[in-house]
Amino acid sequence: MQEFERRKVTRREFVREATAIFVAGVSFSSGYHIAEQNTIPVALVGCGGRGTGAAANALSTKGPTKLVAMADVFEDRLQSSLNHLKQMFPKQVDVPPERQFLGFDAYKKAIDCVAPGGVVILATPPAFRPIHLEYAVAKGCHVFAEKSFAVDAPGIRRVLKAGEEAKKKNLKIATGLHMRHYLPLEEAVARIHDGIIGEIVVCWAYRMHGPVGMRPRRKDESELAHQIRNFHCFTWLNGGFIVDWLIHNLDVCCWVKGDWVIWAQGQGGRQQRKEPDQLFDHYAVEFSFPDGARLFAQGRHMVNCWNFWGCIVHGTKGSAILGEGIQQPRIYKSWKQEPKDLIWQYEGPPCDAYQREMDLLFEAIREDKPYNEIERSAMANMVGILGRMAAESGQLITWEQAMNSNLELAPGLEDLTMDSEPPVKPDAEGKYPVAVPGFTKVF
């Protein structure tokens, strides 16, 4: 793949190992049997919008595929996803009631339906990703893991370990950092790595837009169910706004620079937001690369404010506008990004990055090519976690301090049931605990 051939080597190199291709005609523990030559069975774990979209992408890849199992904690969400996918792919969706699984242990049952050798799509809230990834790898499945991949350092370490196990087992793992597979961005980064704007001095990663919505509590809905339906609003489930929403552009900036950051300091809080949840409505974090170059990240979701979604990169000889939110990357010979100074923009064919990332995974499975995106994806995830730790504590945090932290945002998730109490609860006024810089502990 062009992006990996062209980009600079990072401090942690991308993991590249292969796995044996799925053998047709395998009988599964659920009783499902695939008769078609080279048909790849797919299980969907997490049936929300992103999971449904990823499943549609998987069923749109070259070669026969079939969705055979689904899992979620909410029946309405599973049925909505199933009905949608049936309409799109009537001949490729075969998920009878006995392979529709509900509850916190449903992921095991769905994965068992395609193990070994099938593909598992993991698209639940990120807090559960390490647990589900470990099980899928243990069962010998190929995996598509949607971002984010963990919410804290202990979770990142589990993900990295699972990635190493996948490497030993020759399994393919793709991750949901789809901008890595957006052809216009690939070409822009390749040109930057070739020196078109000189040495990188500073990168800015932005995600500035209107408020993140919150679904109202349903009648008779438990506190745990309410929080899971609104996982974007609870730090223990999503890792914070800077992780959940800025991960793509943090990754793009580190990709452009060709390295990972070594420390962060920053700030954030709730200024406009009144919804009862844990979400900061603004973040501003400064990161340093090993050579002293800087990465600045700004995240904000407020009304009546300046909006921008993308990355701006300055080098010693010019600048670029690119990243998630920028459909047409552009490179300039100045720092002002004026039209007269434009020296490159993409002129190739259109690209659907969501489809391409899945095409590459299934191609690797069918052709037994090396494919494992876990390590660099976990590193990008950890950049966001480091930024959140710095902003929420008000301290300058080093990469080593963050990576070695043993603080879990939601310990004991393996034992969670629908009757369990959530890791965070509202107080008597219905307010949830929110980080306070200067007082919140992150170790």
| Backbone phi, psi, residue 76, to 5° | -65, -35
The pLDDT value recorded for residue 37 is 58
Among residues 343, 348, 291, the alpha carbon closest in space to that of 320 is found at 343
For the cut 80, the answer to whether the pLDDT of residue 14 exceeds it is no
For the cut 70, the answer to whether the pLDDT of residue 69 exceeds it is yes
b/e for 1-29, b at 16 or more Cβ within 10 A?
bebeeebeebeeebbebbbebbeeebebe
Q: Over the stretch 119-159, which tens digit does the pLDDT of each residue have?
A: 999 999 999 999 999 999 999 999 999 999 999 999 999 99
Contact 150, 378 (CB under 8 A): yes
Contact 386, 261 (CB under 8 A): yes
Contact 71, 106 (CB under 8 A): yes
For the cut 60, the answer to whether the pLDDT of residue 389 exceeds it is yes
Residues 6+ apart with CB under 8 A from 248: 147, 177, 178, 179, 323, 324
- Per the model's pLDDT, the better-predicted residue between 388 and 220 turns out to be 388
Q: What is the DSSP string of 82-97?
A: HHHHHHH-TTTB---G
Task: Output the average pLDDT for the chain.
Answer: 92
Q: What is the DSSP string of 375-396?
A: HHHHHHHHHHHHHHHHHHHTS-
335 exposure class (CB count in 10 Å sphere: 0-12, 13-18, 19+): middle
Phi/psi class of residue 231: alpha, beta or left (left: φ > 0; alpha: ψ in -120 to 50)?
alpha
Contact 325, 309 (CB under 8 A): yes
Single-letter amino acid, residue 392: E
* Residue found by looking up tokens 């930057």 in the block: 192
The pLDDT value recorded for residue 262 is 98
For the cut 50, the answer to whether the pLDDT of residue 35 exceeds it is no
Q: What is the DSSP string of 118-159?
A: -EEEE-S-GGGHHHHHHHHHHTT-EEEE-S---SSHHHHHHH
Give mean pLDDT, residues 156-175: 98
For the cut 70, the answer to whether the pLDDT of residue 6 exceeds it is no
The pLDDT value recorded for residue 4 is 28
Among residues 124, 229, 187, the alpha carbon closest in space to that of 330 is found at 187
For the cut 60, the answer to whether the pLDDT of residue 21 exceeds it is no
Tokens of 398: 């080093």
Residue 137: CA count within 13 A, CB half-sphere: 26
What is this structure's pTM? 0.91
- CA-CA distance, 249 to 236, in Å (whole number)? 22
Q: Please report, rounded to a whole number, the percentage of residues in the chain having pLDDT higher than 90.
A: 90
- CA-CA distance, 229 to 433, in Å (whole number)? 18
The pLDDT value recorded for residue 12 is 38
Q: Over the stretch 226-283, which tens digit does the pLDDT of each residue have?
A: 999 999 999 999 999 999 999 999 999 999 999 999 999 999 999 999 999 999 999 9
18: confidence class by pLDDT, cuts 50, 70, 90: very low
